[in-house]
Amino acid sequence: MKNTKKCPKCGGNDILIVDGYAGAYGSGNNIMVGGTIFSAVGVDRHICCSCGFTEEWIDTGKIEKIKNSRKAHR
């Protein structure tokens, strides 16, 4: 959905994006990679308004930050 602007489940094109953010007390769409709110990596949600299907995406520039986190593992 991020790249095609089309839902892979129903084919709909009414797509909303909810930007990732870090709020107080760890709230928000994010991955905490450190001990403070400033270390959070936002996770954007792409939502199909036709069927409700969702995808979550992380900015490619932030992936290295997650890889270097002690919380990440394979």
pTM above 0.85, yes or no: no
Provide the residue-wise pLDDT of the chain in tens; the chain has 74 residues: 999 999 999 999 999 999 999 988 778 899 988 888 888 999 999 999 999 999 999 999 999 999 999 888 88
Task: Give, in order, the Cα–Cα distances in Å from 38 to each of 19, 25, 29, 35, 59.
Answer: 16, 12, 14, 8, 16
Interatomic CA distance for residues 44 and 58, integer angstroms = 6
- Give me 43's structure tokens: 């996770």
CA separation for the pair 15, 29 (Å, rounded): 18
pLDDT in the model for residue 73: 86
